[in-house]
Amino acid sequence: MNKVHSTQVIGIASGKGGVGKTTVAANLAVSLAALGKRVMVFDADLGLANAQLALGCRAKYNFSHVLSGKKTVQEIIVEGPLGVQLVPGSSGIQRMASLSVVETAGIIQSFSEIEGNLDYLIVDLAAGLSDTVMTFLGACQHRFIIVKDDPSSIADAYATIKVMIQDYKLDNISIISNCMNSQAAGDRLYQGITSVIQRFLGGQVAHLGTIREDEMVLRSIKASKPLLQFSPSSAATRDFELLAKTVTKLTANASISGGLQFFLERLSRQDTTIK
Ligand SMILES: Nc1ncnc2c1ncn2[C@@H]1O[C@H](COP(=O)(O)OP(=O)(O)O)[C@@H](O)[C@H]1O
Ligand SMILES: [Mg+2]
């Protein structure tokens, strides 16, 4: 088949830490893989290696080895459940936005070996509004903000979206409500946030879905298994399956130019404009 293939790049962010970014990145990846999609998770959080835990895999090398030129991206990738691939993170990720042209070219070259074999690259970001996070978000095609139903998570999500819209002129922003008691509660949380955004920022954010609070999430991590396999019929598993279907519809309609190379080129181009 010589259909032009383009990888959809999704950035997962939040205002506050500990709201479920890594949980969503990993379980959305596995749920997309269960739908037959080829998925890679890029752990761009700083040095926590949480994505490895959430996917139940162990990496010998990480992105610092790519940045130092010791390994190619291909060589550090580890395979997780259902063929989900993981690019393990490192604290060196911060440097991504300030690499030299030669360094960037090497990494782009390294990533381009993967292009064509991938439907989704899911980037698990650090919390907050740092330049690095915004640079990564600017390079993604879709931006998912995770929000929990507590006042500080809501306030921080709003602050993050404000900076994204006003300072960085980003669009394609969607909210995922996490740790909710019910789907309806997730809808209400979204309604509250979106009305404030419309009123004060004049922007639009979509609601992608709700993940319910589920003790199986933590238990599956302890068992080093993805939720989907550990507890196939639990509430959060069903929510992730629904979320994955919604994501495939969203990305099928996406008319935005994309691809892995595009992502990396934008990532490296932005360091001069954002400081
Ligand atoms: N839907 C959920 N139900 C129950 N626990 C959850 C859920 N989502 C996340 N958690 C738990 O919350 C904690 C923080 O989640 P994590 O994904 O690491 O957050 P972040 O990446 O935003 O810092 C973890 O212990 C995780 O297991
Ligand atoms: Mg995390």
DSSP string, the chain: -------EEEEEE-SSSSSSHHHHHHHHHHHHHHTT--EEEEEESSS--HHHHHHT---S--HHHHHTTSS-HHHH-EE-GGG-EEE---GGGGGGGG--HHHHHHHHHHHHTTTTS-SEEEEEEPSS--HHHHHHHHH-SEEEEEEESSHHHHHHHHHHHHIIIIIT----EEEEEEEES-HHHHHHHHHHHHHHHHHHT----EEEEEEE--HHHHHHHHTTS-HHHH-TTSHHHHHHHHHHHHHHHHHHS--S---HHHHHHHHHHGGGT--
pLDDT (tens digit, 9 = 90+) per residue, 2-18? 344 578 889 999 988 89
pLDDT of residue 71: 87
Is 22's C-beta closer than 6 angstroms to any atom of ligand 1? yes
Is 178's C-beta closer than 6 angstroms to any atom of ligand 1? yes
Is 21's C-beta closer than 6 angstroms to any atom of ligand 1? yes
The predicted model gives 211-225 an average pLDDT of: 95
* Per-residue confidence band for 138, with pLDDT thresholds at 50, 70 and 90: confident
- How far apart CA 23 and CA 202 sit, in angstroms, is 30
> pTM here?
0.90
- Give the residues across from 98 on adjacent strands: none
DSSP strands (E only) in the chain = 8-13, 39-44, 78-79, 85-87, 120-125, 142-148, 173-180, 206-212
The predicted model gives 234-258 an average pLDDT of: 85
**22 Cα–ligand 1 center, Å:** 7
Is 23's C-beta closer than 6 angstroms to any atom of ligand 1? yes
pLDDT (tens digit, 9 = 90+) per residue, 82-109? 999 999 987 666 666 566 666 666 666 6
pLDDT of residue 272: 44
pLDDT of residue 49: 63
Q: Which of 23, 156, 175, 176 to mutate to test the pocket of ligand 1 (most atoms within 8 A of CB)?
A: 23
Is 125's C-beta closer than 6 angstroms to any atom of ligand 1? no
Q: Which of 177, 217, 237 to mutate to test the pocket of ligand 1 (most atoms within 8 A of CB)?
A: 217
Minimum mean pLDDT range among 114-128, 171-185, 256-270: 256-270
Most confident listed range (7-11, 112-116, 132-136, 148-152): 148-152
The kind and range of the H/E element at 268 are helix 260-269
pLDDT of residue 5: 58
User: Does the pLDDT at position 252 exceed 90?
Assistant: no
Most confident listed range (166-170, 242-246, 260-264): 242-246
| Average pLDDT taken over every residue of the chain | 85
The predicted model gives 151-167 an average pLDDT of: 94
Minimum mean pLDDT range among 39-43, 160-164, 254-258: 254-258
- How far apart CA 180 and CA 222 sit, in angstroms, is 21
Q: Please state the atom number of ligand 1 nearest to the C-alpha of residue 124.
A: 21
Cβ atoms of 29 and 122 within 8 Å: the answer is yes
Minimum mean pLDDT range among 131-140, 153-162, 169-178, 210-219: 131-140
pLDDT of residue 265: 73
The better pLDDT of the pair 203, 28 is held by 28
What burial class does residue 102 get, using C-beta atoms within 10 Å of its C-beta: 0-12 exposed, 13-18 middle, 19+ buried? exposed
The predicted model gives 176-199 an average pLDDT of: 96
Is 220's C-beta closer than 6 angstroms to any atom of ligand 1? no
Q: Which ligand is nearest to the CA of 235?
A: 1
Domains and CATH numbers, the chain: 8-270 (3.40.50.300)
